[in-house]
Amino acid sequence: MVMDDFLDKRTDTTPRVGLRREIDTIIWDIDERRFLIRVKDGRMFEAAAPLNDDPERAIVRVVYFWHARHIVFETNRGDHLLGVMPSRHNLAPVGGRPVVYLDQNHWSTLAKTSRAPDRVPEAERKAALELIALAEAGKIILPISAGHHSETSHWVDDDSRYQLALTMLRLSKGWQMRDPLAIWADELQRDIATHAGAEPSSSPPVFTLEPWVIHDAKARCTVGPDDSTQPGLPADLEFAFQSALSTIVYFDLLLNTAPIRREASHGWRAKQQRTTDALAADHRPKAQKRQIAYALALDDLSHEMAKAAAHTNVSTVAFDQWVRSIWNKEMIGTPAVAMFRSMFVDKHLNPRTTWQDNDLNDLFYLSAAAGYANHIVAERHTTGLIAQSSKRLNAPVAAHRSITDLIANLTLAR
């Protein structure tokens, strides 16, 4: 039976919940260009799927287990991956589990442990295997971000890139970190509104299963919620459609069979190096140089602050009062922005700092993660910056230099 007959019948008779109650499994055979819907009584309904002749795609089949809210992907190498779909009423079912954000080099350790364990030192291999087991059992959350996408997708070795992407998707299961620009916008809008005496809106979860949040709206790919809505669908079906489509797009992008070129941040890096060198040559007391570095951080965030002020519709005077009242204080009510500012300033005040192209990615994503995750595992220098900033800001995140150290200090919910 064709799918349109089923859809017409169910939406005519029970427009709100009929489809949700009837559907059991949705199957998309990409190579065969067909959709299959299996309903509870065992009947199958078929429809033609759009042609996807992208030679670089790695996903060949998608199976959506409707009531379990699980989606399974089959790749062109025969591997299978599980993604967890959110409920419209619970976008981030953390359930007390610790959120662990891994820097890219530690994701690489997990990938090596899965595929070539002999390449990992014994102590770290043992800890990595334990971390993998915890993630597979759903006892911890290992989210990925657009930063991970960027760093993985540009690898030129196809097999290494595929294995790394496979590991990240298998262990994250669809959990992701909201784009740092969106996190900053929410924090700044709430803080400006609170200072102006307005009632701030509630904050969306930073680590979430919500569709289309891994990239800021301006950075999203062309397929997204604005141009993929399905008119006439019940709310539950529309949300399920967006959740599935978002997961398919992000999984497919990360598994892409060809590398995606990443733009270098040469101009930003050179600017920061000039600033650091100038501060190192300045003979004023360190406290004064810290105030100068705070002003530099303010300049770096000025565009985001201006947008937040416009969104909250406060006066220029109120915005100026907010900046003057909070910016030079160590403790401010914006966890991700505060962490970015602290790490940015500390890096500038270290006269031995040599800025690298990847520092922008590290500061941008790791500071946002450190504002909200329970644990961060990064390389030595960034771990030191996070630990120092966490102490200064009285932030709860624990920073680790190795997976071994993480496992030794990881406390699971009971």
Q: Is the pLDDT of residue 400 over 80?
A: yes
Overall average pLDDT of the 383-396 stretch: 92
For residue 27, list its beta bridge partners: 36, 63
Reported as half-sphere exposure (CB side, CA atoms, 13 A), residue 329 has a value of 9
Q: Residue 78: is its pLDDT beyond 80?
A: yes
Q: Cα separation of 276 and 283, whole Å? A: 13
HSE, CB side, 13 Å, CA atoms: give it for residue 115.
16
Average pLDDT for 54-58? 81
The secondary element (H helix, E strand) that includes residue 11 is helix 3-13
75-107 burial, b for 16+ CB within 10 Å, e for fewer? beeeeebebbbbeeeebbebeebbbbbbbbebb
What average pLDDT does range 226-238 have in this prediction? Answer: 63
DSSP 348-393: HH-TT----TTHHHIIIIIHHHHTT-SEEE--HHHHHHHHHHHHHH
Looking at the domain assignment, is residue 125 inside a domain?
Answer: yes
Tens digit of each residue's pLDDT (9 = 90 or more) over 243-272: 988 999 999 989 988 888 777 778 889 999
Question: Does residue 219 sit in helix, strand or coil?
Answer: helix
Question: CA dihedral defined by 282, 287, 293, 295, rounded to 10 degrees?
Answer: -120
Cβ proximity of 379 and 361 under 8 Å: no
Q: Is residue 81 a part of any domain in this protein?
A: no
In a domain, 285, yes or no: yes
pLDDT at 221: 42
Percent of the chain with pLDDT over 90: 53
Q: Which residue segment(s) compose the domain that 300 sits in? A: 94-231+251-414
Q: Angle at CA 242, nearest 5°, toward 237 and 248?
A: 125
Report the phi/psi class of residue 275: left, alpha or beta, with left for phi > 0 and alpha for psi in -120 to 50: alpha
Confidence of residue 47 (pLDDT cuts 50, 70, 90): confident
Q: Residue 56, SS3?
A: coil
- Position 384 pLDDT exceeds 60: yes
**How far apart, in whole angstroms, are the C-alpha atoms of residue 66 and residue 237?**
10
52 located within any domain? no
Tell me, what's the pLDDT at 223?
42
Is residue 245 situated within a structural domain? no
Tally the domains of the chain.
1
Residue 343 lies in a domain: yes
Q: Looking at the domain assignment, is residue 85 inside a domain?
A: no
Residue 275 lies inside a defined structural domain of this protein: yes
